[in-house]
Amino acid sequence: MKERCLETRKIYSGRVVALRIDRVMLPSGRKSIREVVEHRGAVAAIPVKGDKIILIRQYRYPVDEVIYEIPAGTREKNETPDETMARELEEEIGYRAGRLTHLFTFYSTPGFTTEKISIYLAEELEPVERRPEHDENIEVVEVEKERIPEMIKNGEIRDGKTIAALCYYMLGAG
């Protein structure tokens, strides 16, 4: 079932992603092309504050929409997922988690990218100075936990990582 890479050609390397084109040998013996977006990996957290979950609303240029998300970010070089998550919570929502628990890790879109996202539960939140990055325009929104399922069902929350994380949490797995 595994495919074997015959040749790799780097097309682009940027700040967030890189793109390569691989020529592969399929198990059937036929050849094919795979377009692969390389990604360092990301983290995201469900920040719980009493009976509320802290979400963010921000404009996402690729989809040209303002969307609800849980705080998240891309790992920097030489940064552990835990370190990335702690940094992102401070930058995006202005909280430090007294308890940060890794829940699960998943591939965001394994058909074309190497991106893995580690999902955390952030509890015992302490306010700190918010330090958004220069290109971020984020609104912090506290949402009652009981509203979350309806927000997912009616399409208010449309971000994949956010839906996966919140469904996991609402099922009592977090």
Residues marked active site are found at 136
Q: How far apart are CA 88 and CA 132, in angstroms?
A: 9
The residue with tokens 């919140």 is 166
CA distance 119 to 137: 22
Cα separation of 111 and 115, whole Å?
A: 11
* CA–CA gap between residue 134 and residue 127 (Å, rounded): 21
Region class of 90: left (phi > 0), else alpha (psi between -120 and 50), else beta: alpha
